[in-house]
């Protein structure tokens, strides 16, 4: 195996390790959290807040309406039970009764609207809570296979890291340092010839450079992009 081939084999091992690590990170992120579930929980919380506010408003107006109704019943009873005989006081009580009845009538309509709004908010909150339950069930169903996949990928990563170490051990130390330097700036760091050009930047190489790459006698770098060229 030429020195360039050894570096290409090391690069393939590095790419395999990187791909497995990316896959593992993605699976772990999925298991940790779920954007759709978070969105549904936020919607459910907002719907529940609307439900509570609508219920509180409806209850407040209903209580006030009941207070007015009690006042109406009290005034109505006093007007006709003969306990008040003063004509002026009776007239004032009659005016007050009419005003309260008018206010109670308007409040009754408002109370009905608020109760309807509270019922609609209750329905929305229940639907949002059900959506959360559905997604949580889906997540529980998905978690098992995902965990199995994660365990498998972790096992594959252990093997890939071992293979990478074996590939690195087969590389000349000086070549390894060169590869690490180039790979820090270029991806991929090792490329094949593409016709008569560098497989990375695609600029043409000299006859001597192409010959050196094809014979594999020495490490050759592209004079333009600095990548390592392998046959």
- The domain tally of the chain equals 2
Among the three residues 163, 191, 206, which one is the final residue of a domain in this structure? Answer: 163
Q: Which two tokens stand for residue 169?
A: 């051990």
Residues 182 and 102 in one domain: no
Q: Which domain holds residue 212?
A: 173-230
Residues 159 and 182 in one domain: no
Residue 93, in any domain of the structure: yes
Among the three residues 115, 141, 163, which one is the final residue of a domain in this structure? Answer: 163
Residues 206 and 122 in one domain: no
Q: What is the DSSP string of 81-127?
A: SSS---HHHHHHHHHHHHHHHHHHHHHHHHHHHHHHHHHHHHHHHHH
The reported pLDDT for the residue numbered 40 is: 93
Residue 34, in any domain of the structure: yes
Residues 139 and 199 in one domain: no
- What angle do the packed helices 173-183 and 3-32 form, to 10 degrees? 50
Residues 90 and 134 in one domain: yes
Residues 79 and 146 in one domain: yes
Residue 14, in any domain of the structure: no
Alpha carbon distance 164, 181 (integer Å): 17
Residues 43 and 154 in one domain: yes
Q: 2: alpha, beta or left, given left = phi > 0 and alpha = psi -120 to 50?
A: beta
Residue 112, in any domain of the structure: yes
Among 215, 214, 219, CA closest to 193: 214
Domain of 66: which CATH number?
Answer: 1.10.287
Among the three residues 110, 143, 163, which one is the final residue of a domain in this structure? Answer: 163
Alpha carbon distance 154, 99 (integer Å): 78
Q: What is the mean pLDDT of each run of 10 residues along the chain (231 residues)?
A: 88 96 92 87 94 90 85 80 74 82 82 88 93 90 90 96 95 94 94 93 92 86 94 80
31: helix, strand or coil: helix
The reported pLDDT for the residue numbered 84 is: 66
């Amino acid at each position: 195996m030429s020195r360039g081939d050894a570096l290409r084999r090391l690069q393939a091992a590095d790419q395999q390790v990187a791909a497995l690590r990316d896959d593992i990170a993605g699976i772990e992120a999925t298991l940790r959290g779920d954007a759709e579930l978070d969105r549904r929980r936020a919607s459910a919380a907002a719907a529940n807040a609307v439900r509570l506010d609508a219920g509180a408003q409806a209850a407040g107006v209903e209580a006030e309406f009941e207070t007015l109704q009690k006042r109406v019943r009290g005034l109505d009873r006093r007007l006709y039970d003969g306990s008040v005989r003063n004509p002026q006081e009776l007239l004032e009580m009659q005016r007050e009764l009419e005003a309260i009845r008018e206010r109670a009538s308007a409040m009754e309509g408002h109370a009905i609207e608020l109760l309807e709004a509270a019922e609609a908010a209750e329905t929305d909150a229940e639907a949002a809570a059900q959506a959360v339950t559905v997604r949580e069930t889906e997540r529980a169903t998905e978690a098992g296979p995902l965990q199995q996949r994660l365990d498998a990928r972790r096992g594959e990563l252990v093997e890939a890291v071992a293979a990478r170490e074996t590939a690195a051990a087969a590389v000349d130390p000086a070549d390894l340092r060169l590869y690490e330097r180039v790979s820090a700036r270029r991806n991929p760091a090792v490329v094949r010839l593409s016709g008569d050009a560098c497989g990375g930047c695609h600029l043409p190489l000299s006859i001597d450079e192409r010959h050196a790459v094809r014979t594999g006698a020495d490490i050759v770098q592209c004079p333009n992009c600095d990548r390592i060229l392998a046959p």
